[in-house]
Every structure is written in C-alpha cells, then in structure tokens.
C-alpha cells in the first residue's frame, strides 16, 4: 500500500495560514533539503484546490525561467497532481487531474494503486480529513520559532482528538524543528493520581 505524507510550515502557536508571509526568513539549506526530499522525489502529489492554485500560479513560470529552482519546479510539473475540490476545475498545468467523487473513497483507492509515496503540501482541510479517516501515514511539521497570534491553525477547536507518535525530530540552525509524526493508539485514561507517581521523590 502506498504511503501518504503531508508537509506543513507551522508557527509555535499552530498557525499554518499564508506561510509565504512569515517563513522565508527561516528557509535555509536544511529546510530546502527537507522539502526537496518530500516533494521533489515522488511521482504523485495530492493537493487541495487553494494550494494547487498557488503551485500553478508560481512553479510553471519558475520552470520556464530556468533559474536555480527550475529543476525543482520541473519535478513538480512532471509529477501527477491530484486535486481535491468540490468545484469543477479546468487545468492548464500538465499532469493535473481532479478527484472524482468522495475524497475518502478516492484516496483509499489511490493508496491501493501501484506506485511510490504520495506527498502533500499545505492543503490543511484535506490533511484534517485524511488524519481523521486514518489515511495519512506521516505528518511532517516544520515548526518555526515565531508566534503569529492570528491565522488559521492546523487543528480547529471542537475537533476530535487525534493521537500521534513522534517518529523523528531534527533542529535546524535557524531554530526550526523538523518533526515527523505518525498515527498512534490512544494513550488511554489517566489523571493526577497516576501522574504524581512519576514526580521526583525527596531523599530519605
């Protein structure tokens, strides 16, 4: 079964909205390598409509310009891009298609197709739905050392809890944390009576 991974730029207070307005001062070679390893090496990318529009509005021109980011832009263009949207879309970007029907059913079928890993970038509403349905295999969070105070957060208030386990972590020179999570079993019920047994005890 194919694995789906999602990459998100996120602030300390959980904001994932409009990262182009706050994350670039922290973008260094380490972050470039992390992003490239996720998006630049897969044959399939799953996107929400807004993220797809952002990609389609920027990367074709960068590919055509032939600059330093042209090879990465070409890899994005060559990848199969599958877009989740409730609206009927018309595509001008090559290798682009729209999910037909229910998102969860379509992604379940996609995971069972032959092929390599499936990457996601941004697309917060899609990430939330796949996490809730147990279809997201890894959540990659690039946590920036900044509190924004406003903006859409990764998880809305009132959503059901989603237990996760940390499977890797790395600290970049900029202070950005590269954290990779996977779904986990519930930690169970516990209260202070259970927790206090782990507090330091006075020496006798």
Tokens at 89, concatenated = 């879309």
Tokens of 80: 């199969």
Q: What is the pLDDT of residues 22-67, one digit of tens each?
A: 999 999 999 999 998 888 788 999 999 999 999 998 998 999 999 9
Reported as a single tens digit per residue, the pLDDT across 122-167 is 899 999 999 999 999 999 999 999 999 999 999 887 668 889 999 9
Structural domains of the chain in order of their starting residue, each with its CATH number: 4-187 (3.40.430.10)
Task: State the Cα–Cα distance between residues 35 and 182, nearest whole angstrom.
Answer: 18
- Tell me how far apart the alpha carbons of residues 100 and 76 are, in angstroms, rounded to a whole number: 22
Q: Is 36 helix (H, G, I), strand (E, B) or coil?
A: helix
């Amino acid at each position: 079964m194919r694995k789906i991974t999602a990459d998100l730029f996120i602030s300390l207070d959980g904001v994932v909205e409009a990262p182009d307005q706050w994350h670039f001062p922290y973008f260094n070679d380490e972050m470039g390598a992390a992003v490239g390893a996720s998006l630049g090496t897969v044959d399939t990318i799953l996107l929400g409509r807004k993220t797809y529009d952002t990609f389609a509005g920027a990367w074709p021109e960068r590919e055509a310009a032939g600059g330093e980011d042209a090879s990465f832009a070409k890899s994005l263009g060559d990848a199969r891009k599958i877009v989740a949207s409730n609206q009927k879309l018309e595509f001008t970007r090559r290798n682009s298609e729209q999910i037909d029907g229910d998102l969860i059913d379509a992604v379940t079928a996609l995971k069972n197709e032959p092929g390599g890993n499936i990457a996601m970038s941004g697309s917060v509403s899609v990430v939330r739905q796949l996490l809730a349905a147990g279809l997201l295999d890894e959540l990659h969070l690039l946590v920036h050392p900044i509190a924004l105070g406003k903006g859409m957060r990764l998880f809305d208030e009132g959503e059901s809890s989603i237990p996760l386990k940390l499977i890797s972590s790395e600290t970049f020179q900029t202070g950005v944390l590269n954290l990779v999570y996977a779904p986990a079993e519930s930690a169970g019920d516990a209260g202070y009576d259970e927790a206090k047994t782990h507090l330091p005890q006075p020496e006798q």
